[in-house]
Structure 1
Amino acid sequence: MLGVVPKRWATSAADASSNSSIKTSIAGRSRFYKQVGIKSLNVPWDATSTTDGNDNVKSPISAGVDGTQSATGVHHIPLDNDTISLIKMLKPRCPGVDDNCWYGVTLDGRKLSTPMGQTLVVPSETLAMMIAAEWDSQLKQIQPTNMPLMTLACTTLDQAALHPKHYRDEAINFLRTDTTCFLADPTEDRLLHRRQKQAWQGLHDFCCDRLGGSSPTTALGIEGILMTRKRGSEKPQTGLPHPEILTELATKWIYSLDAWQLVALNSIANQAKSFLIAFAILESNGINISNNESSGVVACPFPDITKVSEACRVEEEFQISCWGLVEGGHDYDRLNCNIQLQSANLFSKTILLENEY
């Protein structure tokens, strides 16, 4: 067990159930459990559709922001689950690994469920411990925003494993509108242009080395808006016209990922507004499943997550250097950026390290 909460802060599961009519909001529900732990469980594709009765704790976190399961972006579990597809998406794609050990989180000895009603189970004892620690750190009230690893795990099980196309398409869209490919016009803002080049040139060199030897297309100032416009049947989608080989290899790489890495990719890309930044992080963690040819000469430009955060916030930090920091605004943005990047990186790396040869 990870810990015990003082009785004055804890209520029983029965009390929580009886007060469910007034405690169904996504955040702020009183902590209803005393002890948190982890438990070795079966693979998720053997018990994916529903939880098994009294042995599970219904998740106090809803799938939608409105407290229901019907919010925008929430995809429901198909009635005809394909077990083969689930195995393909949920089994970590680490060469040489035949069997994985799976673990769940327990609240007062009962297995925790995901917002969509599945048993929460992950292919890493360390990750399970970290998710359990997030639950144990909830004091008087449950705050889902303070549980980023729990969010990533549930997104994998409830969404990405069952609806991978949506997450693959989202990742590809980030490549077309990658923020690191839009630079300020040096004739209009020379200092910002210089900072962008310093922050992103190493990233572009790394991605060029790993993705077919072609550099991503970049645009300056208003040129970027013009280049991304949809133009007739020859350009059916908006976005920068990256070299064909780069787009093909990036798409192949995306399709090579399991659901865990796909969620990490999208989480980083969403925070950074950049597929290339997310690609560089996962590549440096050891994701090279598609066996793309590369010289391996160009090192990852991000030795740590601090450098990643700096690359994500070039324009914001430039404005702060010019006009000053707004307390309660810029500082919170920095903190949230670091939390999201660190969580997704740790989520990806932990599963990889624990499922090596």
Structure 2
Amino acid sequence: MLNGSSTTSVQMLRRSAERRLPSVPRRGFAAPGGAGGVAGNKITGVVRFYKKVGVKDVEENGNVHYAVTLDGKTVKTPMRSPLQLPSKSMAAAVAHEWDAQGERIKPALMPMMTLASTALDLTKNSSKTELINEMLHYLHSDTVCYQVTADQQEKLAVLQQKKWDPLRKWFTEQFKGELDVSHGSIGRLTHDDEIVNSIREALEQRSEFELVPLRAITKECKSLITAWALFKRHITASEAMEISRVEEEFQIGRWGLVEGGHDLDRVNCRVNLSSASFFLWLHQNQH
């Protein structure tokens, strides 16, 4: 039985799954240092060292990219790659985060920069295959495929069905095949090979600038199904948050909100999902 003082079955599953998951690091980032703008150490808490933030066009092999600059020097990633992005609007979004910094630099307030530098460093730090495998691990412990039974929590069961059933139906229509849905059990899910192979093929066709935010959404929601729905604009970032937090919000409604805990979780979830969703939108609508 579920209760307010004990860990719920779904939460237990999530923690167990996360311990088993191979983790592809999500990079921090560094500041440009020295005359050449070479990336230095991580800069959390460093006093703001620049005045002017800009975006400049960079042409290489006939392709135009857009570099973010601080006092004219190109920002570099932790792996010392120039921060050159595929669209001017994406570069402008990252530049705005740098420009909005106060007296001291706070990377936690720069989610777009984190996503951009992670995408650029992906080929040096890990591979697309590793990233895809990580997301597919989540599919086999996907939040929206674990439903409590009516004898455990009738009201929660009804709420989960309302939020999750339509999403699973949409997903199976996209990829053809059956999803394994667990009712009251916390065992590993066994989806049809057809649907797993189909989603793998779809992920393999995505670029680093799509896979990195997709991975961020998948990890935040503990659900590749939810992440793909947001990627395809079948749902909004706010709806993804509601879907991923069905059980948490139900328990808050039942037992009350813990200030400094639940409220911060909500804020972090909203920031992570909104920034990743916006990053995807900028990539999908390049101009």
Q: Give the alignment's TM-score, normalised by structure 1.
A: 0.67
Cα offset for 1:323?
Answer: 1.0
Within the candidate set 311, 315, 334, 2:266 is matched to: 334
Within the candidate set 153, 163, 171, 1:199 is matched to: 163
Aligned to 1:132: 95
Aligned-partner Cα distance in 2 for 1:113–1:124: 17
* Alignment partner of 1:305 is 2:237: yes
Letter in 1 for 2:120: L
- Which region of structure 1 is more displaced relative to structure 2, 143-152 or 326-335? 326-335
Distance 1:256 1:277, change over 3 A: same
What is the SS of the residue equivalent to 1:326? coil
* Alignment partner of 1:324 is 2:256: yes
Q: Which has the greater radius of gyration?
A: 1
Letter in 2 for 1:211: F
Within the candidate set 32, 40, 46, 2:49 is matched to: 32
Aligned-partner Cα distance in 1 for 2:196–2:81: 35
Q: How far does the alpha carbon of each residue in 1:188-239 deviate from its partner, in whole angstroms, 9 at most, with x for none?
A: 1111111111111111011011011x34111012x232xx2xxxxxxxxxxx
Cα offset for 1:42?
Answer: 3.2
Letter in 2 for 1:330: H
Aligned-partner Cα distance in 2 for 1:324–1:215: 37
Report the RMSD for the aligned CA atoms in angstroms: 2.0
Correspondence 1:91-110 to 2 at 5 A: 101-110=64-73
Aligned-partner Cα distance in 2 for 1:337–1:164: 25
Letter in 1 for 2:46: R
Aligned-partner Cα distance in 2 for 1:101–1:196: 46
* Alignment partner of 1:249 is 2:198: yes
Cα offset for 1:153?
Answer: 0.5
Q: Name the structure with the higher helix share.
A: 2
Letter in 2 for 1:322: R
Within the candidate set 236, 253, 264, 2:213 is matched to: 264
What is the SS of the residue equivalent to 1:29? coil
Aligned-partner Cα distance in 2 for 1:200–1:160: 35
Identity of aligned residues (%): 34
Q: How far does the alpha carbon of each residue in 1:55-101 deviate from its partner, in whole angstroms, 9 at most, with x for none?
A: xxxxxxxxxxxxxxxxxxxxxxxxxxxxxxxxxxxxxxxxxxxx753
* Alignment partner of 1:224 is 2:173: no
Distance 1:116 1:352, change over 3 A: same
Equivalences, count: 251
Consecutive unaligned residues in structure 1, runs of 5 or more = 1-12, 47-98, 229-239, 285-299
* Alignment partner of 1:169 is 2:118: no
Consecutive unaligned residues in structure 2, runs of 5 or more = 1-32
Letter in 2 for 1:224: I
Aligned to 2:82: 119
Aligned-partner Cα distance in 1 for 2:197–2:246: 28
Asked whether the 8 Å contact 1:207–1:215 carries over to 2, the reply is no
Letter in 1 for 2:224: F
Q: Give the alignment's TM-score, normalised by structure 2.
A: 0.82
Aligned to 1:147: 110
The runs of at least 4 consecutive aligned structure 1 residues that moved more than 4 Å come to none
Asked whether the 8 Å contact 1:205–1:215 carries over to 2, the reply is no
